Amino acid sequence: MLIAANWKMFKGPAETRAFLEGFDPPAGVDVILCPPYASLAAAVESGRHTIYAQNVHWEPSGAYTGEISAEMLHELGVTGALVGHSERRQLFGENDEMVARRARAALEAGLGVIACVGETLEQRESGDTELVLKIQVEAIAFAAGDHPNLALAYEPVWAIGTGRTATPELAREAHAFVKGILDRPVLYGGSVKPENAAELLAQPEIDGALVGGASLDPDSLAQICRAATS
């Protein structure tokens, strides 16, 4: 079971070090921490957990202001990256082609990748969930295939940061659909918290969780990790 913590634009280096001092997950669960760029070095220095970036560019270098290459992440000791998070798609205009290029470049450079897919509320209510997931997952599959260092994260966009959560059955169905297109581990990401983690992670098609707000507190994240081992 894999638990990935996406800290988004929270926790500078000092807060990162304080979090790591207080975070004590149980054995038997793989933990990935995804701090903001400014805190990657502090997280790597701890040597206690796998550290991923929150994004990575497809070029090794160039005139791409604000971007970070896979080679730079390697030099820091970072071992992977998220790509295609819904906030990157919605707020910064990333499309399926860009997400696929990021995933392929990172994997070819030897990084692990968690590639995010998911539908908006409007798409779900219009009955287009499977069409949206098919297009998103096939773009990643075409670019990266079933690479052993690739995992996916299903994020119902309407459940991110809203307090709403997909029912365990709905999440299981979406995960099964995604795996039918690309047979890689799939994490659930959508307002995962200690109160609902056990029920979600008990679903047979769910291989872990991508945790947002609930991962900012070390005790909260540790509780989710314990739910993953039960």
- Active-site hit among 57, 87, 155, 175: 155
Q: Is 74 a catalytic residue?
A: no
- Active-site hit among 57, 85, 147, 175: 85
Q: Is 85 a catalytic residue?
A: yes
Question: Within its chain, how far is the Cα of 197 from the centroid?
Answer: 16
- The residues annotated with a catalytic role in the active site are 85, 155
